[in-house]
Amino acid sequence: MLKKIFVVDDDKAVTDFIETALQTAGYECVVSNTAEGVLERARREKPDLIILDIVMPGTDGVDLNIALKGDDATRNIPVVFLTGLIQKSEEQADISKKDIILAKPFLIDQLLVKIREVVKG
């Protein structure tokens, strides 16, 4: 069974790039260009990993992560954060020790290594 990864980023070029790379690497990819509805969908579909941009309009990645970590059904889903604001974001986002922060811009190989570390497959 394919590992399922949610990709949440308001930049469609970024999500398209990541989606193509993940599918090529053998992962099932679910993309959202907004944080709205992601918590509910994560409860239903139980992804193996969420790749989450921190700075987005509306509900941002910080708020979504706090909601994910506060929900019994989603709190153990690992998160890879994508951001250009590492220090400030880390302090605000309720980042756990098992979560990973990757600075933008990043190489897709860096992201794939982090994903493999987290999902083991």
User: Who has greater pLDDT, 89 or 60?
Assistant: 60
Q: Per 3-state DSSP, what percentage of the chain is helix, strand, and coil (rounded to 5)? A: 40, 20, 40
Angle (nearest 5°) at CA 120 between 63 and 98 = 35
What is the value of pTM for the model shown? Answer: 0.87
The HSE-up count of residue 100 (CA atoms within 13 Å, CB side) is 18
Res 90 pLDDT > 90: no
Q: Is the pLDDT of residue 89 over 50?
A: no
Res. 85 pLDDT band, cuts 50 70 90: low
pLDDT digits (tens, 9 = 90+) for 39-79: 999 999 999 999 999 889 999 898 999 999 999 999 999 99
Residue 49 and residue 3 in contact, taking contact as beta carbons nearer than 8 Å = yes
pLDDT, residue 94, reads: 56
Q: In whole angstroms, give the CA distance from residue 26 to residue 68.
A: 25
Asked if residue 92 has pLDDT above 70, the reply is: no
Give the pLDDT mean for 5-17: 96
- Report the domain count for the chain: 1
Distance CA 60, CA 39 (A): 12
Domain that holds residue 100: 4-119
Q: What pairs with residue 102 in β-bridges?
A: 82
Strand 79-83 relative to strand 100-103: parallel, antiparallel, unpaired? parallel
| CATH assignment of the domain containing 45 | 3.40.50.2300
Q: Where are the alpha helices (DSSP H) in 1-121?
A: 12-24, 38-45, 61-69, 86-92, 108-119
Residue 112 has pLDDT above 50, yes or no: yes
